[in-house]
Amino acid sequence: MGGGGGIFLLARLLGIEHRLGIWLGLPVVDLVSFVVIGLGGLVLIWTLGRRLRVLLAVMKPRAGAAATGGRSSSAPSGRAG
């Protein structure tokens, strides 16, 4: 994923995005960087232990561990009491 972002930014900083060609109305460098970023994301999802958890997190974002603070209901809250 970092490689795709690097390709995108480097082309912008050097000002060569239009010199390398246009395809489907976008500079080719942009399309290549988007594909590299997408492939990197797929690799990260594939290396997860439980791949279906990603799908559930996307479909039900309020029920995921990130939305609830990563705590289960049986975990101590850390409050003195």
Model confidence pLDDT, tens digit, residues 25-68: 778 888 888 888 888 888 887 777 676 777 777 787 776 666 66
- Which three-class secondary structure string do you get for the chain? CHHHHHHHHHHHHHCCCCCCCEECCEEHHHHHHHHHHHHHHHHHHHCCCCCHHHHHHHHCHHHCCCCCCCCCCCCCCCCCC
- Residue 75 placed within a domain: no
**What average pLDDT does the segment 5-15 reach?**
82
- Residue 26 placed within a domain: yes
- Residue 68 placed within a domain: no
Domain with 7 in it:
2-50
- Residue 70 placed within a domain: no
- Residue 30 placed within a domain: yes
Q: 81 pLDDT band (50/70/90 cuts)? A: very low
- Residue 64 placed within a domain: no
Domain count across the chain: 1
